[in-house]
Amino acid sequence: MKPEPELSLQDVEDIVEVIHSNFGYDFKGYARASLQRRMLRVMDTLNIKTAGQLQDFLLGTDCAFNYFLEHITVNVTEMFRDPEFYKIIRSTVIPILASYPIIKIWHAGCSTGEEVFSMAILLHEAGLLQRSRIYGTDVNHVNIEKAKQGILPLEVMKDYTHNYMQSGGVHDFATYYSARYKQVIIDKKLRSNLIFAQHNLVADQVFNEFQLIFCRNVLIYFNKELQNKVVKLFYDSLAPLGYLALGSKETMHYTPVKHDFATVDKEKIYRRIK
């Protein structure tokens, strides 16, 4: 049996410091236990046994850090993830968005784009996609490159079709993509108003004003202080009466800007009221 890699919480601190000073990425505000689990997984895959070896690996070659960055973030995503959430977006938020001449939406931490493609479908079905600009950003540039391609594995489409129908979708979901061997490509028409770019919620600033911001299943990986900072960034990026949509395990309740938002729905949809 091969020995397990070892990494104490102090080792995690040291690696975080090495990453910050050598590559400029700041993971100080990430929840430690989750970061430790992810680092251990990378070590296990690469057969690295100690924190010292992990540091040597990171500083060894140009592509080592890119590999690390790709695997240190949790990238799990789905189209129409939490269908009930999309039902509320469809019934409550989209009719309000329809009143704007140009609709601007930001998906912060969009992973490989599935959430953005889902929103593009909702806007298309409401006849609003042509006047929408949807920005999908992520810290992980590998995710962004995948999102730009709009290619997904064929095997997940059955689940995504199910999610779509559960979310109230009534069209033929298969018309939104074309299958090629074991992959599908999302219809070009749906992707025409999508802009994917790298953006780091820890270090980067407001870059536009939006009527709707999604940041789902991202804040759970941050500590309280970083969550507060990022929620403030969203407040500053939202138009008056703009919407903020968080993930099912996330909440605005304990942040300093909680009184600036009203709860729209238990599906973690909030509205900027101040």
Ligand X SMILES: C[S@@+](CC[C@H](N)C(=O)[O-])C[C@H]1O[C@@H](n2cnc3c(N)ncnc32)[C@H](O)[C@@H]1O
Burial state string for 6-19 with b = 16 or more CB within 10 A and e = fewer than 16: ebeeebbebbbebb
Question: Binding of ligand X at residue 247 (CB under 6 A)?
Answer: yes
CA–CA dist 129, 120 (Å, integer): 6
Nearer to ligand X, 41 or 259 (CB): 41
Between 206 and 273, name the residue whose CB sits nearer to ligand X: 206
Bridge partners of 67?
A: none
Contact positions with ligand X (CB under 6 A) in 125-154: 138-140, 143
Query: What is the nearest approach in angstroms of ligand X to the Cβ of residue 101?
Result: 27
40, 74, 128, 185: which one contacts ligand X (CB under 6 A)?
Answer: 74
Contact 54, 15 (CB under 8 A): yes
Binding of ligand X by 163 (CB under 6 A): no
Site for ligand X in 217-236 (CB under 6 A): 217-218
- CA-closest candidate to residue 143, choices 206, 203, 200, 198: 198
Regarding 38 and contact with ligand X (CB under 6 A), the answer is no
Q: What is each CA distance from 175 to 47, 114, 146, 157, in whole angstroms? A: 44, 16, 21, 12
Please give the structure tokens belonging to residue 51.
Answer: 């924190």
Residue type, 102: I
Q: Which is nearer to ligand X, 28 or 131 (CB)?
A: 28
Residues between 101 and 120 that touch ligand X (CB under 6 A): 109-111, 115
**Closest distance to ligand X from the beta carbon of 73 (Å):** 3
Q: Which of 81, 124, 146, 191 binds ligand X (CB under 6 A)?
A: 81
Return the amino acid letter for 12: V
Which amino acid, residue 110? Answer: C
Instruction: Give min distance, CB of 104 to ligand X, in A.
Output: 18
CA distance 254 to 233: 16
Residues found near ligand X in the complex (CB under 6 A): 73-77, 81, 109-111, 115, 138-140, 143, 200-202, 216-218, 247
